[in-house]
Amino acid sequence: MSPETLIRDDGLGTGAEQFSIDRFNANVMNTYGRFPIALEKGSGCKVWDTEGKEYLDFVAGIATCTLGHAHPKLIEAVTEQIQKLHHVSNLYYIPEQGELAAWLTEHSAGDRVFFCNSGAEANEGAIKLARKYAHDRLNIEDPVIITAHASFHGRTLATITATGQPKYQKGFSPLVPGFVYTPYNDLPALENAIAEVDQNGRRVAAILLEALQGEGGVRPGDVAYFQKIRQICDEKGILLILDEVQVGMGRTGRWWGYENLGIEPDIFTSAKGLGGGIPIGALMCKSFCDVFEPGNHASTFGGNPFACGVALAVCQTLERENILSNVQQRGEQLRNSLQAIASEYPDLIAEVRGWGLINGMELKSDVELTSIDLVNAAIAQGVLLVPAGPKVVRFVPPLIVTEAEVNQACQAVARALHNR
């Protein structure tokens, strides 16, 4: 389908009259700060709102729609699987689940997979697995998990506790015990945190980090820092858990974020890009720490034929169409273009950084302009972007984005900055 055929030809449409923000707000809980547009159609890297206005989508459902919108392979997989079998139960063997698990173990450091429905649920599972390993194998009564300041791991109680940002925890106490926080990319601070736990007569069971902090401001992990952590974990028998929910599944130009750091985790999680926009999460681990037994952990929807069949098609499409090489090339193009824009506004823009197609443009802390202001200005210019904290604007387009689309987005950002 060409984008043109997606725009209603009656010039009026049905959604424009029917969609009402007031009606929406009267019925939906007020948990999100929403930009004032309603999206109803998409094709490739473009989406259209209920008024028929076109946008270049550099949000992709927050680093999720890796194949963009209405991709033929996605449509085909969804259609085939829904006609065949969509949901049964983990009371039975599910062939699609087995095939997706095999694809994942063949393309990662993991040996075993547990499927769930979201990033938070995958991280919740990782926390449970690490605690069970500590109890069963290491006899640790009261295991501690170290996480980083400015991290983001999800919105369940355990994952907001793991998230090292007080704003996500405020109002939800009592939080889950057993977490200690340390500044990201700061080795001496991490070593101190481990020593302090030891001094208190407790033991660190796991260190949970993002290879690149996404929500926390698009901050890539430091190679030397992560390599030293891997060494410390090996020496002390600490599990290294990496949250790959945002950076995994090809987003960085490699399958996994940790490949950019030259290390392998013991446990890692995936979700956002895994199903290309179909809800699915995965918890993966090396066989030595695969300590779950029947009855320990479960999910009704987790690993169902629909989600797994579609996610497998997404994975195979990324691989067969060599999309990782597009991610590398378009990522470099995007960073270079944003860098050129940044050098035109040295008083406004502090830095451009990222890996592959997850990139951030950081605004100077002393200027009034916020990330939300810039996102609003970009929307006015026809490009969707997403904040990553108060001063960083994130660029996470579909992995199939073209050279022309990257150019178009950067020109729009330049206009947005010019007209701000």
Ligand X SMILES: *Cc1c(COP(=O)(O)O)cnc(C)c1O
Per the annotation, where are the binding residues for pyridoxal 5'-phosphate?
119-120, 152, 243-246, 300
Which CB atom, from 152 or from 306, has the smaller least distance to ligand X?
152
Tell whether residue 153 is a contact of ligand X (CB under 6 A): yes
Using CB under 6 A, which of the segments 8-16, 152-160, 319-327, 336-344 binds ligand X?
152-160
Which CB atom, from 44 or from 250, has the smaller least distance to ligand X?
250
Q: Which one of 49, 57, 243, 266 is the catalytic residue?
A: 243
3-state SS string over the chain? CCHHHHCCCCCCCCHHHHCCHHHHHHHCCCCCCCCCCCEEEEEECEEEECCCCEEEECCHHHHCCCCCECCHHHHHHHHHHHHHCCCCCCCCCCHHHHHHHHHHHHCCCCCEEEEECCHHHHHHHHHHHHHHHHHHHHCCCCEEEEEEECCCCCCCHHHHHHCECHHHHCCCCCCCCCEEEECCCCHHHHHHHHHHHHHCCCEEEEEEECCEECCCCCEECCHHHHHHHHHHHHHHCCEEEEECCCCCCCCCCCCCHHHHCCCCCCEEEECCCCCECECCEEEEECHHHCCCCCCCCCCCCCCCHHHHHHHHHHHHHHHHCCHHHHHHHHHHHHHHHHHHHHHHCCCCEEEEEEECCEEEEEECCCCCCCHHHHHHHHHHCCEECEECCCCEEEECCCCCCCHHHHHHHHHHHHHHHHCC
Q: Which of 49, 57, 96, 215 binds ligand X (CB under 6 A)?
A: 215
Q: Least distance in Å: CB of 253 to ligand X?
A: 17
Q: Is 228 a catalytic residue?
A: no
Using CB under 6 A, which of the segments 94-102, 105-113, 195-203, 241-249 binds ligand X?
241-249
Q: Is 114 a catalytic residue?
A: no
**Binding site as annotated, residues for N(2)-acetyl-L-ornithine:** 155, 299
Q: Is 290 a catalytic residue?
A: no
Q: Which of 118, 165, 326, 371 binds ligand X (CB under 6 A)?
A: 118
Pattern 270-289, binding to ligand X, x per CB under 6 A? -xx-----------------
Q: Least distance in Å: CB of 74 to ligand X?
A: 19
Q: Which of 68, 110, 164, 214 binds ligand X (CB under 6 A)?
A: 214
Q: Least distance in Å: CB of 244 to ligand X?
A: 8
Which residues have a catalytic role annotated? 152, 243, 272
- List residues binding ligand X (CB under 6 A): 118-120, 123, 152-154, 210, 214-215, 243, 245-246, 271-272
